[in-house]
Structures are given as structure tokens and as C-alpha cells.
Amino acid sequence: MHKAGFVNIVGNPNVGKSTLMNALVGERISIATFKAQTTRHRIMGIYNTDEMQIVFSDTPGVLKPNYKLQESMLNFSTSALTDADILLYVTDVVETPDKNNEFMAKVRQMTVPVLLLINKIDLTDQEKLVKLVEDWKELLPQAEIIPISAASKFNVDYVMKRIKELLPDSPPYFGKDQWTDKPARFFVNEIIREKILLYYDKEIPYSVEVAVEEFKEEAKKIHIRAVIYVERESQKGIIIGKQGKALKKVATEARRELERFFGKTIFLETYVKVDKDWRSSDKELRNFGYQLD
């Protein structure tokens, strides 16, 4: 009998959801960086064997939306509650259980299995961890609580074992050779955006979106032309940097990462354009692939 199901990963920003997803799927699918709000979309990673297919879904961190982009991000997180066969709720040892009561109330009503994963346990001691487990047990009595460290892969194997045991009987949802639901261009955007998150400070990364205007793939090489959109002229100057050095650094690092990702030689051209208020425009957000309804 074949097993298949949707395993959705939710939780607040910066608790390590993307690192966990990469550890479970074994592919570097979600860009994991040290800044909050890195994941803006719902990204699927598909784990295939002959007997089963697990469709993992990493979602943006749950947060109170301040503008349209964040509303879309919250939509992705909330929709993950409706179609999950198994829910992985990720928290960590720093976070208190009462951080997001509205979202928690929705999780409490779920009838599918919930695995509550307390991440980063290497940052605490046994006594505090025991107390944290008790607090969570009170808040989510139906959940199975598993302490983990996604970064050092501690207990990740056990989480995978439980997922396989809880997975429903079902034919596969995707082709067995597929490892994500996203097209190649999507990963180009994410990789360039990751480098921007790493190299620029303050609000710059959150004002940036990337669009791939050209993606020409040949047997051994790929030509890519990408546009980095910012909201203001001043941001454009910061992205390009003195004598274009900042942009050159981002492009070089992104190209190296893309070569690793696609296993081919990459020719990457990057341009910077100003698009005022893209974060608040329905039309622009739809063009960038955000879900607004």
C-alpha cells in the first residue's frame, strides 16, 4: 500500500522552520538565513520513496500583518492549517507558549496529528526544557511534543519516523521525480534575495523583490537576467553601491550558489529598478506570485 500526505510546517518567525525543512527533505529548498521573514511564500519540498511521498510545506513565520505583503504571508501560513495531513508546529527554547494566541487557537481545533517541535534545545538546560514541555502540554494537549535541534539534526530522524508512521494511505500527489512544486525561476529569485538579506542592513532586504526576466537553459549552461526591484531611488543607490561593488558582490555570490544548485555554468546579469510601493499594490504583489485572497 502506498502512503502520501501533506506535512505542513508552521510557527513564528526565526524558530528554524526552514532549517528543519531542509534537514527533512535533504535538499536546500528553503532559504535559511538569520533574519526574520526570510520565507515569503509557501514552498513545497517533496520526499519520495517507492512506498511513500511526503509533501513538506514550509510557510512564512506567523506575524501580525502591517502591510499587504505581510497579509499575503499570513494567508500562506493560515492555509497550511486547512490542507495538512500532519502539522509540524515549530517553536524554540527562547519563545514563550503564549506568543501567538490567535493562531494557537486555530491549531488547537485541528483534528489531524500535530507534532510540536521544540527547536534549539542545545541553547537551554534540562530543567528549563522540562518546564517548557509542561507549559506546551497544557496549551496543546493533543500534540506530541518532540525536543529537537534542526541545525545539528538532533532527533530529526525520530521526527521523520513519526511522520512516516502517521502518513495516510494514498497514491502520490506529484510525479516521483519531482522534488518541489516551484519552477526553476523561483529558486533564482530566492537565491538572489538570500544574498541581499545577507549583505545589506536594516530595511533594505524587506523592500526588495526579484524578478527573472530571462532564463535560457542549454545543455551545460544557463543564461539568466534578473531585475532587483526596490521602493526608492536611495535604496537603488545602496543596492548598487560605490562603483557598483555591492551589486557585483551579490551577483557573484548568487552565481556561485546557482551553479551549485543547478549543476551548470551560470551567466547572470542583474539590474536594479525602482517600483514605488510594490509591497502595498495588489497588482504588483500578484505579479510577484503572492496569494492575496
d(Cα 168, Cα 186) in Å, to the nearest integer? 30
The 3-state DSSP class for residue 162 equals helix
Binding residues: 11-18, 58-62, 119-122
Residue 10 β-bridge partners: 89
d(Cα 3, Cα 8) in Å, to the nearest integer? 16
Binding residues for GTP: 11-18, 58-62, 119-122
Q: What angle do CA 4, 182, 152 make, to 5 degrees?
A: 70
Task: State which H helix or E strand residue 58 sits in.
Answer: strand 52-58
Considering only CA atoms, which of 53, 50, 41 is closest in space to residue 17?
Answer: 41
Helices 233-240 and 245-262, axial angle in degrees (round to 10) = 70
Residue 44 β-bridge partners: 57
**Burial level of 49, CB count in 10 A (0-12/13-18/19+)?**
exposed
d(Cα 285, Cα 62) in Å, to the nearest integer? 19
Task: State which H helix or E strand residue 279 sits in.
Answer: none
Task: State which H helix or E strand residue 43 sits in.
Answer: strand 43-48
Q: Give the dihedral sign, CA 122/124/127/132.
A: negative
What DSSP state is assigned to residue 90? E
d(Cα 12, Cα 61) in Å, to the nearest integer? 4
